[in-house]
Amino acid sequence: MKILIRGAGDLATGIAAELWERGHQILMTDVAIPLTVRREVAFSRAVYEEHAVVEGIEAVLADNFEEAETIMATRKIAVMVDEKAEVRKEYLPDVLVDGIMAKKNLGTRISDAPLVIGIGPGFTAAGDCHFVIETQRGDHLGEVIREGSAIPNTGIPGNIGGYTVERLLKASADGIMHPVARIGDVVKKGQIVARCGDEPVYARLHGIVRGMLQEGVPVKKGLKIGDVDARIEEKLCYTISDKARKIGNGVAEAIDLVYKTK
């Protein structure tokens, strides 16, 4: 089945992996400068590195739809810079998944594909899409919503290792992003982990750097640029999160609801 996924960040990548493992053909679209902090588990990395491998699955950057077709024919995932997913008009996907995670709808319509699935807040099932998948941690994570919307964003990051807001690294000033620590590095509270322009960014807890924006990205003060995990387990930096997998399973369930009953 032909799947088009808008967005190629870490959660969209978890969705792509779950669907790829089920044998589907995957084309992903993203912006020209992705701002995914968990880059090691995101196919958005292919935008600036030309290819990305996550858990043994390879994604390759395509400059046009013809290249994307060639890539997908080899059982790889194709990634295109196409902010509005205009490629859908050529690809004609069976399923369109909006995994941008903007917490609002950036232009996806229920008419974009025979089955349209919105991920997280900002979508209305039976309105601008057929189904919505819940993204808030808890008992309903990954649930298929057939009518209405996902739980609104609280603005508070999920609790991981006993920490919420302390996990986040945010830009200290407007400017160009310069990582000091790399993904996989263990850092101490108060250690400089990045610079935004000339302003340092300090770790707010002792842990492992699980996410960090790439060198040279222009950032605005307050933008999320990284993530530190108090659970110092290196494998967590390089494996798709349980949250992303559960959301991916929810998408697969939604697809089965439509296509396995036809």
Q: Where are the alpha helices (DSSP H) in 96-227?
A: none
Considering all CA atoms of the chain, what is the largest pairwise distance in Å, rounded to the nearest integer? 58
Residue 16 token pair: 């792509």
Dihedral (C-alpha) 190, 194, 196, 198: value to the nearest 10 degrees?
70
**Per-residue pLDDT for 261 more than 70?**
no
- Within 8 A by CB and 6+ apart from 235, the residues are none
Contact 123, 15 (CB under 8 A): no
pLDDT tens profile 191-215: 999 999 999 999 999 999 999 999 9
Under the banding of pLDDT at 50, 70 and 90, the label for residue 180 is very high
pLDDT at 34: 97
> Residue 77's pLDDT band (boundaries 50, 70, 90)?
very high
More confidently predicted of 94 and 166: 94
Return contacts of 100-107, CB within 8 angstroms, 24+ apart. 100/6, 100/7, 100/9, 100/12, 101/7, 101/9, 101/11, 101/12, 101/135, 103/153, 106/6
pLDDT at 155: 73
Do 128 and 112 form a contact (C-beta atoms < 8 A)?
no
C-alpha triplet 78, 109, 24: angle, nearest 5°: 30
Residues 6+ apart with CB under 8 A from 256: none
Q: Which domains, ranges and CATH numbers included, belong to the chain?
A: 2-153+242-259 (3.40.50), 165-230 (2.40.50.100)
Q: What is the mean pLDDT of residues 227-251?
A: 96
β-pairing, 207-212 with 224-229? antiparallel
